[in-house]
Amino acid sequence: MRLPGTRTLMTFMASLLVPLPVVGVLPSDTHSYGPIDHVIVIMQSGHSFDNYFGTRPGVDGLPLSGCQPVAVGAQGCQKPFHLPSGQARYGLTDTLRVTKKAIDGGKMDGFITAQPNSIIGSVAMGYLDGSDLPYYWSLADRFTLFDHFYASSQAGALPNRLISMAGTDAGISSNSLSGDITSPTVFDLLDKAKLPWKYYLQGYKGPSQALSPGQVIKAPVLAMPSITATADRARIVDTSQYFVDMAKGQLPAVSYVSGTVSSERSPQNPAQGMAFVQSLINALMQSPEWQHTALLLTYDDSGGWYDHSKPPTVGGTTLGIRVPTLLVSPYAKSGYVDSGQLDTASIPAFIEQVFRLPTLPSQEASSGSVLSAMDLSQPPISPAIGPAQGAAAVIPRPAVATIYLLYLGALTIAAILILLAFRRYRRQDLPPPAPDAPEVPA
């Protein structure tokens, strides 16, 4: 008796031992920075560094003596306080006028009086902590947190989002846009280098939809004829395509991702935006792209929330309010607080450095380099799915080598069992021994 399909099964098992191809790695002639073949920029909205990380140990956080006057000339003042869930969604104002008044020539004492009324203005002194933002704080535990990353512009979300891709605000000083944007962008450099890119915009329905002002603020590429009137328009897609591209190993060299209904800007719920970001990072961590990616999570401006750090001056321009920023990558310095001075203009500079692109002609001076937070000589950080609530344990995703060892061990055990079974059946196939011949009487 033969064991059916034994040879077929053994052939299949042997095929599993062949190394799997690495998906999503760009050709070696892209001249990327070390093992980094992909840069992802996730830009959320409207929070200051102190509002999200001001109470985190080891950072340049909220000063114990900080207290803002509740009215001009008033004796009373409001100290920073932990925000109740309802107040975390209060809509603050963050126009250029309000931001300048809040900064007050570097005194950083006008955050309450800059708001339309003192009741809402006092809320600007509120902050969230690790119990409110467990996932973001867990990322800071495992990767790099920047505590001196400033919005380049004081004028709001639109100019800062433009700076994040063009290195300049093109003279835009508000969230209103009166015409097309013609500034060259990092996307032009990528096109010339034949490197793929995409802009993933939450809720985007395609070229035929009527654009809202909010969408243009979140994605200034929609106001750029050099993109919208060319084949590059197909590179602007809904965020659902991000997960498709990730699963297929088709992540482009550079990706920008913007939330709209999940942007975190007040009065939106920060927890909803955090869940959105977590879904993006989890998808990356569960894909082969993880090993070759640097992901930068940052914010377009402070949203009117208090921050005590005086903005520096770069290239003759005083920067905006400090914003939360994290570098998530296998080569980010783990659990590290990078206190080097950076700003929104550091983002296109980072992409230019990673892919060895020329500098944009109109690019403003940036404070420093994001590369300071990377260490290519360290053992790569393994991906992990962070906590969704409180102090829930981080669940590590096994490294590829570990998975292969497990496969090999399982296949070895299976091969031994099949061999034993095969020998057993061979014994059953042998003819029974002949009986002893009867004795013949003499």
Closest by Cα among 160, 213, 208 to 347: 160
Residue reference for tokens 């003819």: 431
Position 72 scores a pLDDT of 78
CA-based end-to-end distance of the chain: 43
- 134 CB contacts (<8 Å, ≥6 apart)? 386, 387, 388, 389, 390, 391, 392
Indicate whether this model's pTM tops 0.75.
yes
CA distance 270 to 263: 8
Position 122 scores a pLDDT of 93
The SS3 call for residue 282 is helix
Give the number of C-alpha atoms closer than 13 A to the C-alpha of residue 193, restricted to the C-beta side: 24
Position 79 scores a pLDDT of 95
CA distance 380 to 400: 12
Domain boundaries, the chain: 36-401
Which one-letter DSSP state was computed for residue 322? B
- 177 CB contacts (<8 Å, ≥6 apart)? 158, 213, 216, 220, 223
Token pair of 297 as six digits: 């999570």
β pairing state of 236-238 and 293-299: unpaired
Please state which CATH number belongs to domain 36-401: 3.40.720.10
Alpha helices for 205-345 (secondary structure H): 213-218, 225-228, 240-247, 270-285
Per-residue pLDDT of the chain (442 residues; tens, 9 = 90+): 333 443 333 333 333 333 333 333 344 444 678 899 999 999 999 999 999 999 999 999 999 888 999 887 777 899 999 999 778 888 899 999 999 999 999 999 999 999 988 778 999 999 999 999 999 999 999 999 999 999 999 999 999 999 999 999 999 999 988 889 999 999 999 999 999 999 999 999 988 777 777 889 999 999 999 999 999 999 999 999 999 999 999 999 999 999 999 999 999 999 999 999 999 999 999 999 999 999 999 999 999 999 999 999 998 899 999 999 999 999 999 999 999 999 999 999 999 999 999 999 888 877 789 999 999 999 999 998 766 544 433 444 434 343 334 434 544 555 555 555 545 544 444 444 444 444 444 3
Position 88 scores a pLDDT of 80
State the burial class of residue 225 (Cβ atoms within 10 Å of its Cβ: 0-12, 13-18, 19+). exposed
